[in-house]
Structure 1
Amino acid sequence: MAGHPFFTRTTCCLNYRIPDAGNCDDCVLLAPGSRQERWLEAVRAERAAPDAHLRL
């Protein structure tokens, strides 16, 4: 859907502190290029399967 909102955090989720959890996709601790690539991957995945988040 064109104009679909894209979530980004404005505060740290602290996910990186959980063992083996890694960083969230919009983590400020990631290099800007890495963060942008994760965003692009999320957009591509959404375009490929727009209703995938609705499936349980």
Structure 2
Amino acid sequence: MREGLIPTVLGTAVTASGVAMRGKFPMAAAVVTGFGLAHMVLGAIDLVEHRSRKPF
């Protein structure tokens, strides 16, 4: 499995859950969305950084 794929997918799920709870808990939703976006950015950096390596 490519390095950085798990944090990117996890960040997408966390961001989606943060956006989903935006109406009821706006402050918590902002925090959760921020953590999700951070995971997506860091995972994308790992994906780009290690794209030239062969998986095995």
**TM-score normalised to structure 1 length:** 0.42
Q: Which protein is richer in helix relative to its size?
A: 2
Larger relative CO (CA 8 A, sep 6+): 1 or 2?
2
